């Protein structure tokens, strides 16, 4: 592992240029893959657990 800051920053710039040049469809596929990985790491919530944290929003007041 290198601690050369210039090399690290250039590598980040190159990665960003590469990602920016990719087609939108490919970026969306990458996003789906990242989301699946995140769910696998965190674990999928049980439906009952999701409902336990749901709150109803307050109704809007209407001016008369």
Helix (H, G, I), strand (E, B), or coil: what is residue 4?
coil
Distance (Å, whole) CA 6 – CA 10: 6
Burial state string for 7-27 with b = 16 or more CB within 10 A and e = fewer than 16: eeeeeeeeeeeeeeeeeeeee
pTM of the full structure: 0.53
> What pLDDT is recorded for position 29?
94
Instruction: Please write the tens of the pLDDT for every residue from 10-62.
Output: 999 999 999 999 999 999 999 999 999 988 888 876 666 666 666 677 777 76
Distance (Å, whole) CA 50 – CA 63: 34
């Amino acid at each position: 592992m290198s601690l050369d800051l210039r090399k690290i920053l250039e590598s980040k710039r190159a990665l960003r240029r590469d990602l920016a040049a990719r087609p939108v469809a490919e970026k969306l596929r990458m996003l789906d893959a990242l989301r699946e990985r995140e769910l696998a790491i965190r674990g999928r919530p049980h439906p009952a657990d999701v409902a336990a944290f749901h709150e109803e929003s307050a109704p809007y007041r209407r001016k008369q």
